[in-house]
Amino acid sequence: MKQKLEQIIEPLLDWYQENKRILPWRISKNPYCIWISEIMLQQTRIEAVKSYYSRFMQEIPTIHDLANIQEERLLKLWEGLGYYNRARNLQKAAKIIEQSYQGKMPTTYEKLITLPGIGDYTAGAIASIAFNEKVPAVDGNVLRVISRIIGSKKDILLPETKKEISKLLINIMPQQAGNFNEALMELGELLCVPNGEPTCSKCPLNKICKAYQENLVNEIPVRCKKVKRKIEEMTVLVFTTKEGKIAIRKRTKQGVLKDMYEFPNLDKNYTEEQLINYLQEKKILAEKIEFLGNFKHIFTHIEWKMIAYLVIVKKEELDYMWVTQEELKKKYALPTAFKQLMR
């Protein structure tokens, strides 16, 4: 197996040299830039990350700035990327780097992996790309590409499979470790794609790839079925005054989207009639109620089935924060789940 995999190094590096995309975080080998981009790229597409990345770097260009920025502002800059704990962990890690590493990013995989929010993949990516340490960085792209090359039908969602593939890669890591890892990821993004047919005819590894040679491309990689998501119903109330003020509140410190802002909401989906009864019970004087639509938002393990109403009230009498649209846009981090209602 080692011999087979070693054959991919040269053609892969040559292909990468000629075909790699110019991405803002690839311009330098600055470990801070690599770190931020890798965390943003978890769960988000490259194209979508680009604008978030430039905005973030403009306002938080150093580890020191990240350690010291107000959490509220940090979450605002992260708004739309989701999985807000990633942003919080970035700041926690930046504070540790300030205190224990004189503000400089640790240079080894061993030290990087001890920081909050930095797992096996991210530690491997930073250590290899910024410091050229010979460690692999195994993400979904790499698992798919390597499984196809070696013709493995093992479930790529199992930790054992990831361990096995990491081990195989450690044994063949070349001198240009960072380029090699980036090349594998780039091949997985551009040619050996996850959805749809891979472009094997243009792949520099097609003579070595077992899946291609044995016509197994559609069978590999193997993924076991995902866990079913829990459905949670919710009624969202966009309370608005005639002057255009909107009611928001801060979510609790527990559960999903903790500490973010939201529109007031109720458990279960209410019909308009049920909502009128609810408002009467609470002695809320609504001048107008308008159905805004059905929405959904998907988290890893939960799906929110939302029904939303615009409720125009006379004055800012309810116990919420009343903000203008402009303030809501600029100052408060409103998760995508609620932001979609604004459209």
Q: Which residues bind ligand SF4 (CB under 6 A)?
A: 145, 148-149, 191-192, 198, 200, 203, 205-206, 209, 211-212, 217
**Tokens 């080998």 sit at which residue?**
29
Min dist CB 209 to ligand SF4, Å, is: 3
User: Is 273 annotated as catalytic?
Assistant: no
**CB closer to ligand SF4 out of 87 and 156:** 156
Min dist CB 9 to ligand SF4, Å, is: 14
Provide CB contacts within 8 A for 237, sequence distance 6+.
Answer: 247, 263, 264, 265, 266, 275, 308, 309, 311
**Six-digit token string for 145:** 């590409």
Min dist CB 206 to ligand SF4, Å, is: 4
Min dist CB 173 to ligand SF4, Å, is: 19
Min dist CB 337 to ligand SF4, Å, is: 35
Q: Which amino acid is at 325?
A: Q
**CB closer to ligand SF4 out of 11 and 117:** 11
**CB closer to ligand SF4 out of 148 and 297:** 148
Identify the active-site residue in 6, 10, 18, 38.
38
Closest Cα to residue 39, out of 105, 111, 121?
Answer: 121
Residue 61, preceding peptide bond in cis (omega within 30° of 0)? no
Min dist CB 208 to ligand SF4, Å, is: 8
For residues 137 and 185, is the Cβ–Cβ distance under 8 A? yes
Catalytic residues: 38
